[in-house]
Amino acid sequence: MKNSNRVLLTILVMVAIVTIIGCSPIVDYQNSIFNDEDKIVKDSDSHTYSVRQGKSKGNETDIKFTSFSGTDTIFKITSDTESAIVFNFESIVDKGDFKVVLITPDDEIVEIVNGEKEGSETIKLKEGISRVKLVGRKAKGQIKMDIDAGEEIKIKAID
């Protein structure tokens, strides 16, 4: 009898923890980021994934995700001069909201992808350090992207 009471108590504690975490202010904050430019441009990221498979390497990324909310920086791009770069991408969104943005050195947001889309975008970079972020709200899908840039541009994958 004592063992069955312990098992029942353990299950009840686990259910309580999952309920508290699922309704936490952190998750609410992460879900509020999607349409809030002030939160998107922050240097720090706040995100949750149920599943995140894949990574960013060099100038490429291939990531599958489920239940993604918040922001996740995947590239830092350093440019010594104003230069154009090309983002080639394929975004698949099965559920929720998802976008990829470029944050310029002066904290302007340039949308690269919003939702499900395949193609390319040419963006003129300003001198300095720019960041590429994934932004999601309860999103499930996949993003494949590579960046074509000249020698004067340094791309660092963040994983």
Please give the share of the chain, as a percent, with pLDDT higher than 70: 92
Confidence (pLDDT) at 17: 63
pTM: 0.83
pLDDT at 22 over 60: no
DSSP E strands: which ranges in the chain?
47-48, 51-57, 60-79, 83-103, 109-114, 117-125, 128-148, 153-157
Strand 153-157 to strand 60-79: parallel, antiparallel, or no bridges (unpaired)? antiparallel
Q: Are 45 and 71 in contact (CB under 8 A)?
A: yes
**pLDDT tens digits, 33-73:** 899 999 999 999 999 999 999 999 999 999 999 999 999 99
Confidence (pLDDT) at 25: 73
**pLDDT tens digits, 96-118:** 999 999 999 999 999 999 999 99
CA distance 104 to 83: 12
Q: What is the DSSP letter of 26?
A: H
What would the mean pLDDT of 3-25 be, rounded to a whole number?
69
Residue 106: enclosing H or E segment and its boundaries? none
**pLDDT tens digits, 125-140:** 999 999 999 999 999 9
Q: Give whole-number Cα distances, 92 to 17, 32, 45, in Å.
A: 32, 22, 22
Alpha helices, DSSP H, located in the chain: 2-22, 25-32, 37-40
> For residues 90 and 1, which has the higher predicted lDDT (pLDDT)?
90
pLDDT at 23 over 60: no
Average pLDDT of the chain is: 91
Confidence (pLDDT) at 61: 97
Please give the domain boundaries of the chain with CATH numbers for all domains. Answer: 33-157 (2.60.120.380)
Q: Are 123 and 102 in contact (CB under 8 A)?
A: yes
Q: Give whole-number Cα distances, 5 to 2, 43, 78, 89, 124, in Å.
A: 5, 48, 59, 54, 64
CA distance 53 to 38: 28
CA distance 55 to 122: 23
What 3-state DSSP class applies to 82?
coil
